[in-house]
Amino acid sequence: MHRLLNRHVAFAASALLIMSSSTDAATESRWNVLFIAVDDLRPKLGCYGNTHIHSPNIDKLSAGAVRFERAYCQQAVCNPSRTSLMTGMRPDSIGVTGNHSHFRSNHPDVVTLPQHFKQHGYHAAAIGKIYHGVFPDGASSTMWDTMGDAESWSVPAIRFGPRYYYTEEGITAAKSIYEKVYKPTNPGPEDWTKKLVFGPATESPVVPDSTLYDGQVTDSAVKTLQQLKDTDEPFFLAVGFIKPHSPYIAPKKYFDLYDNVSLPSHTEFPANAPAFAGHGSGELRRYTDQPTSGVISDEQQRRVRHAYYACISYIDAQIGRVLDELERTGLNNNTIVVLYGDHGYHLGEQGLWGKTTNFEPDSRITLIVRAPGMKAAGKSNESLIDLVDL
């Protein structure tokens, strides 16, 4: 308890550091919030000391913000992590420890973070992946039809997808898997794009950014900011990007930023660690171009790491477009920006691929916070915190 108290005292001090500005915040009009979520984003960015990663826009944001060096998720799985953050309750308390349960099934009256803003006069809107997207009590729908919690938002949330593949090879593989898994009786020409299907793990199509899911999220976010600048109502705008989540797909120009991708130095599962601390890397092995068991070749590992880096750079470009629009509209002068990753990710370290473990690569996350006029701009913070502290 003593250590827990010290941790929260440290975070409270950090929060005060963040919110400190050259003027009294109480005398200012209410600040907006731009809340940016990135799926599977480990803190391997230029601003975190990884100079081989091309992330100029996130690095620019960090230069005017506080970057948290020791921030962690509550559980390295999408739904528990996001639910915990959005409700302020830890996974065991909210009853969400997997990807197929909804927090309102057991806690129907919980007030979420955006719902709190909405109840206090804010326009709360969501674009892209913010919640994981499941429905309470197994309601009939797909995860792509909603953000998973209508009570949180002032207007219906916007989400695209789930089409992943854009090359002929990728489309062929995805359609084949669709036919095997779903066995459609009268499949339409695009029915496979409405299901989660797993073709190849990587793809680098020669397409504009806005052809892909996250480019469409960016287009919608930019348009929404243009609309919000002409209103007097403060806003909480959540923008969720799905890459670098697998499959690792980004326009080819982002792949071209990288060459000679190296492998991690420690690629063996720790000798004395219990088996249940790891897994079989099933998230990667489910793709059609990966071995279902056994050794993943060095060539395949480099390709996956290369593609993951390309996805980071693709998302960095999308975040840059959103932040540029925030500045162009003048909204940056009274908008808090929060950028976070819902959990980390293994890229071959300890012989693991994907997330779900409690090892450092999975549990440590990206967290950057910028507030107007903050005195701590450009500083890093070593306080031990987790996403529920938000």
Supply the residues annotated as catalytic.
Answer: 78, 132
Amino acid at 262: S
Instruction: Name the H helices within 249-297.
Output: 252-255, 282-285
Which residues, 6+ apart, have CB-to-CB distance to 119 below 8 Å? 111
Is 346:246 a contact under the CB 8 Å cutoff?
Answer: no
Angle between helices 298-328 and 56-63 in degrees, nearest 10: 50
Is 209:218 a contact under the CB 8 Å cutoff?
Answer: yes
DSSP state at residue 133: -
Query: Torsion over CA of 82, 83, 84 and 87, rounded to 10 degrees?
Result: 120
Strand ranges for 281-351 from DSSP E: 335-341, 346-347
Residue burial 342-373, b: 16+ Cβ < 10 Å; e: rest: bbbbbbbbbbbbbbbbebebbbbbbbbbbbbe
CA distance 268 to 386: 28
Is 4:90 a contact under the CB 8 Å cutoff?
Answer: no
